[in-house]
């Protein structure tokens, strides 16, 4: 099914749902307790294979490629719905597979999707595990613990903030290790994990990164000129616009008010450079560091406090009757389940068993 090699024990299938045809990797017994794995940006279900195979006996792993990624049918993402298209796609997949309730795990952008999935259908999630999730308020262009927009048009977030050289290399299927040109392999090995770590399946993971659908309406998405710094605001298509704070709507409030409230495990790396309170992928940080010119200052457009926002929202979730546990791995980057699989699985499996 997939152009990307899979590990023994992983099954690759296409599943037709009422919304789209999804590519799904699975493992474990067909009648096992289901665990839904949701990948991040510039990756695919491939990233989860070792974690899937390590599940305790009696669990069934289901890892789809999200809309816009991997081998799933190439339909556009309506970014004005925030994560709505992805949430509806996942619920349609669960319905098609006859899964009423499942555990759910999300990495990075997939963590943002999970916040939205809990907001939309909390009764279907038994437990949630967030691996280096993006902030529930989205990525870039917002400030403060309540995710207030830096500018009314969402300037500083969305498709226009992505490094164009990286997108071009991605579209060309570049697998080189050329320095200084945003080669995908170099970006992956610099930011997805903390150097000098290199994953055993580096080639498959690089193919996974390169499998994202690229184009003006796909990755990274369209954008608009803005009178506000840094001069670009979100458009209406594609994954990076979909996680703009401009389109978050009432999803955070619905997450906090969710009933029931699945218990949440939050695992992150202490040295994550993608999701942090000083993310090197956030224009606020790049402005403060002098990389982007004409920065308007920390009051107008500070680095987005992504970790602090996530903690503040999870504290509200707990105060409203939910529960969460934050686990931080030292000397770890953006992908704790690949960098420290034994430690990750210990926490993850205890959480699945209700002992987290």
Closest CA to 127 of 312, 313, 323, 308: 323
Distance CA(160)–CA(79), nearest Å, equals 14
Sign of CA dihedral 308, 314, 320, 324: negative
Q: For the residues 119-133, what does the mean pLDDT come to?
A: 98
Please check the confidence at residue 356 and state whether its pLDDT lies above 80.
no
Residues 116, 125 contacting (CB under 8 angstroms): no
In this prediction, residue 129 carries a pLDDT of: 99
Predicted confidence (pLDDT) per residue in 172-187, tens digit: 999 999 888 799 999 9
8 burial via Cβ count (<10 Å: 0-12, 13-18, 19+): exposed
CATH number assigned to the domain covering 11-353: 3.40.50.1820
Give the pairing type, strands 33-38 and 102-107: parallel
Distance CA(264)–CA(328), nearest Å, equals 14
Q: How many residues does the chain have?
A: 356
In this prediction, residue 180 carries a pLDDT of: 81
What mean pLDDT value characterizes the chain?
97
Distance CA(317)–CA(256), nearest Å, equals 5
Instruction: Calculate the CA 286 to chain-centre distance.
Output: 21
Kindly report the number of other CB atoms within 10 A of residue 331's CB atom. 11
- pTM of the predicted model as reported, rounded to 2 decimal places: 0.98
Predicted confidence (pLDDT) per residue in 150-168, tens digit: 999 999 999 999 999 999 9
Percent of the chain with pLDDT over 90: 97
Closest CA to 72 of 61, 59, 86: 86
The residues spanned by each domain of the chain are 11-353
Distance CA(57)–CA(94), nearest Å, equals 21
In this prediction, residue 41 carries a pLDDT of: 98
In this prediction, residue 179 carries a pLDDT of: 80
In this prediction, residue 181 carries a pLDDT of: 78
Distance CA(237)–CA(221), nearest Å, equals 5
Predicted confidence (pLDDT) per residue in 214-240, tens digit: 999 999 999 999 999 999 999 999 999
Please check the confidence at residue 132 and state whether its pLDDT lies above 60.
yes
Distance CA(348)–CA(61), nearest Å, equals 13
Please check the confidence at residue 1 and state whether its pLDDT lies above 60.
no
Question: What is the band of 117 on the pLDDT scale with cuts at 50, 70, 90?
Answer: very high
Predicted confidence (pLDDT) per residue in 323-336, tens digit: 999 999 999 999 99
**Six-digit token string for 293:** 């010119």
Please check the confidence at residue 2 and state whether its pLDDT lies above 80.
no
């Amino acid at each position: 099914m997939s152009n990307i090699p899979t590990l023994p024990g992983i099954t690759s299938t296409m599943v037709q749902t009422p919304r789209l045809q999804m590519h799904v990797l699975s493992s474990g017994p067909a009648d096992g307790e289901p665990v839904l794995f949701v990948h991040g940006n510039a990756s695919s279900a491939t990233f989860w294979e070792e974690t899937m195979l390590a599940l305790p006996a009696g669990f069934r792993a289901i890892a789809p490629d999200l809309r816009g990624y991997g081998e799933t049918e190439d339909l556009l993402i309506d970014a004005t719905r925030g994560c709505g298209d992805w949430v509806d796609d996942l619920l349609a997949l669960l319905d098609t597979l006859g899964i009423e309730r499942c555990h759910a795990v999300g990495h990075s952008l997939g963590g943002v999707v999970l916040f939205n999935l809990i907001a939309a259908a909390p009764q279907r999630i038994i437990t949630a595990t967030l691996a280096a999730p993006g902030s529930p308020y989205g990525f870039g262009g917002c400030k403060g613990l309540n995710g207030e927009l830096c500018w009314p048009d969402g300037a500083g977030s969305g498709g226009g903030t992505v490094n164009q050289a990286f997108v071009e290399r991605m579209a060309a299927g570049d697998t080189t290790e050329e320095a200084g040109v945003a080669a995908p392999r170099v970006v992956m090995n610099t930011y997805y994990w903390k150097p000098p770590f290199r994953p055993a399946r580096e080639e498959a993971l690089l193919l996974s990164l390169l499998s994202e659908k690229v184009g003006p309406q796909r990755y990274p998405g369209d954008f608009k000129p803005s009178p506000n710094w840094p001069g670009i605001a979100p458009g209406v298509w594609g994954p990076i616009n979909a996680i703009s704070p401009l389109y978050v709507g009432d999803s955070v409030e619905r997450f906090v008010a969710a009933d029931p409230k699945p218990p949440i495990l939050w695992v992150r790396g202490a040295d994550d450079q993608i999701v942090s309170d000083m993310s090197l992928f956030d224009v606020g940080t790049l402005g403060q560091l002098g990389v982007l010119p004409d920065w308007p200052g920390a009051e107008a457009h500070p680095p987005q406090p992504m970790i602090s926002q996530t903690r503040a929202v999870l504290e509200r979730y707990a105060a409203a009757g939910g529960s969460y546990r934050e686990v931080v791995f030292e000397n770890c980057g953006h992908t704790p389940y690949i960098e420290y699989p034994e430690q990750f699985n210990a926490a993850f499996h205890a959480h699945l068993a209700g002992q987290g």
